[in-house]
Amino acid sequence: MFRILFYRPEIPPNTGNAIRLAANTGCELHLVEPLGFTLEDKQLRRAGLDYHDLARVRVHADLPSAWQALLPAKVYAFSASATRRYTDVAYEPGDVLLFGPESAGLPADVQHAPEITDRLRLPMLPTSRSLNLANTAAITLYEAWRQNGFATA
């Protein structure tokens, strides 16, 4: 299955929703510290409902630790400044979908790291700054899963 990687997430309900997404799709959720909350945060637990025990969630101390656990794999970095659309990729099981913190998105050095296969974006109105993190992860994951026939569903 696919793997979602949140780099330094800040808002507990977004990660809670991603936990629920992971539990319902069979994907893995990887989180890179520092987190803007604890995994015991009430808002995170409420957003994840009772799916915490059904989701595969791993926390990594830093990005190199995440790379060690996830590579080799294709890593798609999502950014509002990317020029290629998320639908222009042929996703394969094991691919990593990388998203940045809610306040600033992925830093340039992460977007252009050698581990990154490609930078992708979701289309939106030109007057918009960004989409919600959990929504973006869900849209992208479901596209990847759709391309693979919703395997295991």
- Residue numbers belonging to the annotated binding site: 100, 122, 130
Taking the C-alpha atoms of residue 150 and residue 143, their distance in angstroms, rounded to an integer, is 9
- Nearest in space to 25 (alpha carbons), one of 8, 3, 47: 3
- Nearest in space to 146 (alpha carbons), one of 86, 75, 84, 77: 86
Amino acid letter at 60?
A: H
- Residue numbers belonging to the annotated binding site for S-adenosyl-L-methionine: 100, 122, 130
Give Cα 90 distance to the centre of its chain: 17
